[in-house]
């Protein structure tokens, strides 16, 4: 009995996207797009290095040394951060896991690629804005114009909910409930939904906004001029404009890089400083795990200062430890 013919790489790649990602795992379009872009880069690199078209590539071409060379190309030639490098590699790893089940003859090759570790990187401290700076940014839009009215209520909703930009621009009118209790439904990462309550002032602004500019229930809550959803780039530009106006009263804002996710960080920090439990903050922000939210505790110097004052200084200086043999001295020197 003859051995089965190995499946070509192009067939496996197509089945990986259509069957595994879309049909079986039912991943979001954003995940599909991210994986697609990763393989576009990989196939372009293969074309330059191996002089092969994507349709002519084989699984053997995508061995561990080649994947390592591609990852180095991302960091050195494309100047990708380690985080971006790892994200690209995650798409390749997912494909190789699929290959290990679908094509037994390529199991060794797949395992050699899967053995390549993700790179570690430093986690910078979370930055955030003060309450005064946030209030100045929220008050910056000119409410005498349509875009200013939209920006005012849109930025207020962003700060109230702590939503990601992708979540904010996807909000529909039907996601909003104003009576009897005001709240909004947020569609988060991985198709996870959560409900976030709204302050009375936020609900009043949203009620006024919809009364002045009514739209269909399935329409975007914060549309662009064309009537469609505002884009991520469009929102970022409106935020920059508000920061520029706020910087007239707070010049230090002009020296800071204020981006949408910084507002989200500020929401978490302000809740933490107000005594809100960290598990509640995690639910509010839609974090997969409260461990993610612990980063905000690390950045809260006021909380650390209170802990330091509560801890009494030691009464005497502890004796310094001195290794007794060469092995211990070696370990101590590391």
Please tell me which residue in 88, 133, 150, 264 is annotated as part of the active site. 264
Q: Does 192 have pLDDT greater than 90?
A: no
Both 304 and 157 in one domain: the answer is: yes
Q: 29: pLDDT confidence band, cut at 50, 70 and 90?
A: confident
The answer as to whether 325 is a domain residue is no
The answer as to whether 101 is a domain residue is yes
Note the pLDDT tens digit of each residue in 1-16: 455 667 899 999 999 9
3-state helix/strand/coil string of the chain: CCCCCCCCHHHHHHHHHHHHHHHHCCCCHHHHHHHHHHHHHHHHHHHHHHCCCHHHCCHHHHCHHHHHHHHHHHHHCCCCCHHHHHHHHHHHHHHHHHHHHHCHHHHHHHHHHHCCCCCCCCCCCCCCCCHHHHHHHHHCCCCCCHHHHHHHHHHHHHHHHCCCHHHHHCCEHHHEECCCCCEEEEECHHHCEEEEECCHHHHHHHHHHHHHCCCCCCCECCECCCCCECCHHHHHHHHHHHHHHHCCCCHHHHHCCCCHHHHHHHHHHHHHHCCCCHHHHHHHHCCCCHHHHHHHHHHCHHHHHHHHHHCCCCCCCCCCCCCCCHHHHHHHHC
The answer as to whether 322 is a domain residue is no
d(CA 163, CA 187): 9
Q: Which of 89, 114, 139 is the last residue of a domain?
A: 114
Can 189 be counted among the known catalytic residues? yes
The answer as to whether 2 is a domain residue is no
Q: Mean pLDDT, to the nearest integer, of 256-266?
A: 91
Q: What percent of the chain has a predicted confidence (pLDDT) above 90?
A: 66
Both 177 and 299 in one domain: the answer is: yes
Average pLDDT along the chain: 87
Both 109 and 160 in one domain: the answer is: no
Note the pLDDT tens digit of each residue in 109-121: 999 999 999 998 7
Q: Which of 85, 114, 143 is the last residue of a domain?
A: 114
The answer as to whether 139 is a domain residue is yes
What CATH number has the domain bearing residue 57? 1.10.150
Both 135 and 212 in one domain: the answer is: yes
Can 83 be counted among the known catalytic residues? no
Q: Does 255 have pLDDT greater than 50?
A: yes
Q: Which residue has the higher pLDDT, 309 or 64?
A: 64
pTM over cut 0.85: no
Can 264 be counted among the known catalytic residues? yes
Note the pLDDT tens digit of each residue in 42-53: 999 999 999 999
Can 191 be counted among the known catalytic residues? no
Can 119 be counted among the known catalytic residues? no
- Count up the domains in the chain and report the number: 2
Both 37 and 141 in one domain: the answer is: no
Both 211 and 255 in one domain: the answer is: yes
Both 62 and 95 in one domain: the answer is: yes
Can 287 be counted among the known catalytic residues? yes
Q: Mean pLDDT, to the nearest integer, of 138-157?
A: 96
Q: Mean pLDDT, to the nearest integer, of 256-269?
A: 90
Q: Does 62 have pLDDT greater than 50?
A: yes
Domain that holds residue 149: 131-309
d(CA 172, CA 216): 9
Please tell me which residue in 73, 133, 150, 164 is annotated as part of the active site. 164
Both 243 and 106 in one domain: the answer is: no
Measuring CA to CA, which residue among 58, 66, 248, 285 is closest to residue 158? Answer: 285
The answer as to whether 85 is a domain residue is yes
Q: What is the pLDDT of residue 1?
A: 47
Both 104 and 202 in one domain: the answer is: no
Please tell me which residue in 189, 194, 215, 244 is annotated as part of the active site. 189
Q: What is the pLDDT of residue 6?
A: 75
Most confident listed range (27-31, 158-162, 225-229): 158-162
Q: Which residue has the higher pLDDT, 268 or 310?
A: 268
What CATH number has the domain bearing residue 204? 1.10.443.10
The answer as to whether 328 is a domain residue is no
Q: What is the pLDDT of residue 233?
A: 92
Q: Does 19 have pLDDT greater than 80?
A: yes
Both 193 and 61 in one domain: the answer is: no
């Amino acid at each position: 009995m003859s051995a089965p013919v190995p499946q070509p790489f192009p067939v496996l790649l197509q089945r990986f996207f259509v069957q595994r990602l879309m049909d079986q795992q039912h991943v979001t379009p954003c995940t599909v797009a991210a994986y697609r872009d990763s393989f576009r880069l990989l196939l372009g690199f293969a074309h330059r290095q191996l002089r092969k078209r994507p349709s002519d590539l084989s699984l053997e071409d995508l061995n561990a040394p080649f994947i390592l060379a591609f990852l180095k190309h991302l960091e050195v030639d494309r100047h990708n951060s380690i985080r971006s490098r790892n994200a690209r590699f995650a798409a390749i790893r997912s494909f190789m896991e699929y290959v290990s089940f679908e094509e037994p003859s390529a199991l060794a090759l797949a395992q050699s690629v899967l053995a390549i570790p993700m790179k570690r990187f430093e986690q910078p401290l979370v930055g955030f804005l003060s309450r005064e700076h946030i209030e100045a940014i929220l008050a910056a839009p000119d409410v005498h114009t349509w875009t200013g009215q939209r920006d005012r209520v849109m930025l207020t909703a962003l700060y109230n909910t702590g939503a990601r930009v992708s979540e904010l621009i996807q909000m529909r009118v039907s996601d909003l409930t104003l009576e009897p209790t005001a709240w909004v439904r947020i569609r988060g990462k991985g198709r996870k939904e959560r409900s976030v309550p709204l302050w009375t002032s936020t609900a009043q602004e949203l009620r006024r906004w919809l009364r002045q500019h009514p739209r269909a229930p399935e329409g975007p809550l914060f549309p662009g001029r064309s009537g469609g959803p505002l884009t991520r780039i469009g929102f970022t530009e409106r935020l920059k404009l508000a920061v520029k106006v706020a910087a007239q009263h707070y010049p230090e804002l002009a020296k800071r890089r204020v981006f949408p996710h910084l507002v989200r960080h500020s929401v978490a920090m302000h809740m933490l400083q107000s005594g809100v439990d960290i598990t509640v903050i995690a639910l509010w922000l839609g974090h997969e795990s409260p461990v993610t939210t612990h980063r905000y505790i690390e950045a809260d110097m006021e909380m650390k200062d209170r802990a330091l004052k509560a801890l009494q200084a030691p009464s005497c200086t502890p004796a310094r430890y001195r290794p007794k043999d060469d092995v211990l001295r070696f370990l101590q020197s590391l």
